[in-house]
A = this chain, B = another copy of it.
């Protein structure tokens, strides 16, 4: 028997991440009702076992577990509480799983509002990008009550390889903010290191190879380092998304009077890249800032 046989799931948000995730849930045997803001993406998913719904409310009315994979905090709020939002069709006892990157503070507030309607929210943002979504190798950082996490576990096992129950509602989003800080700063580190090697006339690929054996080793050096060396900036995760996530992390820090100077500088470097019209490139394109400086 397939692991999700008999599950009736909703899925809202069929972007670069959402579509492959949706396909994995379908392959695992779930019956899916899907919705996307622009209807075409939902229509394209339709096949035996997947139906498209007109609105988030309609998705909520015919499912018990509902996955959100939308772009940002305002989009989550609109999907849950806007016109024809989830809240209008929500059945008591439902579980909403927000797998996007949403502000931790807003997540706690959304959970309270859903609780009053008899539903649970858990936050379960992911790391691993489009590649991780396609390979079902996502790393999932979950926040919420034990029972709700256990209820979601069969889905997580289909979508990812590494699930951590970090803490209560919002804790997953705090972990994701921490994740995005590290990813952004590690990309900045590799960019400066490889730019230095290039200027000094040393083979960047050899430097990457040498460094992968020591304390400088990281997933970013492996994956994004390779993209910089090949100058292949097809996303992956976009510059604009990285910038948004860093801003959100800084806002979370500021809410606790914590200043994060390295994160702020990194965000500003990403902003320069956006202002140069490079927001749609992969976040490893931060390297381009250093190439310009050299040729400029």
Write the residues of chain A forming the contact surface with B, with a CB cutoff of 8 angstroms. 104, 126-129, 132, 138-139, 141, 161-162, 164-167, 170-171, 174-175, 177-179, 181-186, 188-190, 192-197, 199-203, 206-207, 209-221, 223, 249, 252-253, 256-263, 265-266, 269, 290, 293-294
Chain B residues with CB below 8 A from A218, complex form? 182, 186, 217-221
Copy total for this chain: 2
| Chain B contacts for A181, CB-based, 8 A | 189, 192-193, 196
Which 6 pairs of residues, A with B, have the shortest CB-CB distance?
A: A127-B214, A162-B213, A218-B218, A139-B214, A185-B189, A164-B210
9 new A-B contacts, CB < 8 A, other than A128-B214, A167-B203, are: A127-B216, A139-B210, A141-B210, A166-B206, A174-B202, A175-B197, A189-B189, A199-B256, A262-B262
With both beta carbons as reference points, the residue of chain B lying nearest to A104 in the complex is identified as B200
Determine the chain B residues whose CB is within 8 A of the CB of A186 once the complex forms. 182, 185-186, 189, 216, 218
State A277–B141 Cα separation when bound (angstroms): 37
A223 touches B214 (CB 8 A): no
Contact, CB under 8 Å: A209 / B167: no
Structural contact, A179 and B164, CB atoms closer than 8 A:
no
Q: Please give, as numbers and ranges, the residues of chain B lying within 8 Å of A132 by CB-CB distance.
A: 214
Given contacts A203-B166, A213-B162, contact A221 B182 (CB under 8 A): yes
Chain B contacts of A249 at CB under 8 A?
Answer: 196
Nearest neighbor of A177 in chain B, beta-carbon distance: B196
Q: Which of B167, B202, B253 contacts A202 (CB 8 A)?
A: B167
**Does the CB pair B260–A213 fall under 8 Å?**
no
Q: List, sorted by A's number, 18 A–B pairs whose CB atoms are closer than 8 Å.
A: A138-B214, A139-B211, A164-B206, A166-B203, A166-B210, A170-B200, A171-B200, A178-B216, A179-B215, A181-B193, A182-B218, A185-B185, A195-B253, A196-B256, A199-B253, A199-B256, A214-B219, A217-B218
Whether B185 pairs with A188 at a CB distance below 8 angstroms is yes
Asked if residues A175 and B207 are in contact (CB atoms below 8 Å), the reply is yes
- Hey, which chain B residues are within 8 Å of A200, CB to CB? 104, 170-171, 174, 252, 256
> Which residues of B are found within 8 Å of A221, using beta-carbon distances?
182, 218
- The answer to whether B179 touches A216, judged by C-beta atoms less than 8 angstroms apart, is yes
Whether A196 lies near B262 (C-beta < 8 A) is no
Q: How far is the CA of A192 from the CA of B249 in the complex (A)?
A: 10
How far is B237's CA from A235's CA once the two chains are assembled, in angstroms? 36
